[in-house]
């Protein structure tokens, strides 16, 4: 499968930020968590595009960040609150187990790939797998 990195970044959901106007602190915290994940994915994505120099340590740091933030997703989404402008879908709270599984899938993927990236050629398949894990959750639980 061949995807352009730009497409993968969009699939990962790193293109849209909808914070404006949200005041609820729990909602802001969960959005900030997602933004931090997106920032870490961007580090890998821009490197995969050749826009930044290959740096295996920076990739590992980004993967650690994704692992840690993904681990926080289930707790961050414990309370059902969907203010206007939130993109969270109510089905999250009908399927908390599956939602948690999808968060853990991303957490595990990131953890397993730490130390695995040896060369720039490894970045593209990594991006495809990460984008797949984001999309698996967003396609069901994000507007
Ligand atoms: C387990 C589910 C799940 C996974 C996995 C997940 N997300 Fe999300 N994401 C959500 C939900 C739900 C929202 C909507 C939150 C809201 O608007 O309250 C969201 C929102 C976002 C947002 C918008 C945040 C904002 O400021 O409005 C970005 C960016 C994002 N995700 C990026 C990612 C990236 C990148 C990945 C993969 C590396 C990822 N997400 C993985 C569930 C997930």
Which is the closest atom of ligand 1 to the Cα of 32?
26
Q: What per-residue confidence (pLDDT) applies to 20?
A: 67
Query: How far is the C-alpha of 75 from the C-alpha of 22, rounded, in Å?
Result: 19
Report percent pLDDT > 90 for the chain: 80
Burial of residue 67 (CB within 10 Å: 0-12, 13-18, 19+) is buried
Q: What is the extent of the structural domain holding 39? A: 5-141
Q: What per-residue confidence (pLDDT) applies to 87?
A: 92
Total count of domains within the chain: 1
Give the 3-state secondary structure of residue 20: coil
90: domain CATH number is 1.20.120.10
Q: How far is the CA of 22 from the centre of ligand 1 (A)?
A: 15
Its pTM stands at 0.94
State the average pLDDT for the chain: 93
Task: Name the residue of 104, 134, 140, 141 whose CB sits within 8 Å of the most ligand 1 atoms, as the mutation to test its pocket.
Answer: 134
């Amino acid at each position: 499968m061949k995807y352009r990195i730009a497409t993968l970044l969009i699939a990962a959901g790193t293109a849209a930020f909808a914070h404006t106007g949200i005041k609820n602190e729990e909602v802001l915290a969960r959005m900030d968590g997602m933004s931090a994940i997106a920032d870490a994915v961007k580090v890998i994505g821009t490197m995969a595009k050749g826009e930044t120099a290959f740096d295996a340590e920076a990739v590992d740091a980004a993967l650690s960040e994704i692992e840690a933030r993904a681990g926080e997703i289930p707790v961050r989404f414990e309370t059902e609150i969907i203010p206007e402008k939130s993109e969270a879908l109510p089905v999250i709270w009908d399927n908390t187990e599956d939602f948690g599984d999808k968060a853990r899938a991303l957490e595990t993927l990131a953890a397993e790939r730490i130390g695995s990236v040896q060369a720039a050629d490894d970045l593209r398949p990594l991006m495809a797998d990460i984008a797949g894990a984001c999309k698996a959750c967003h396609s069901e639980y994000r507007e």
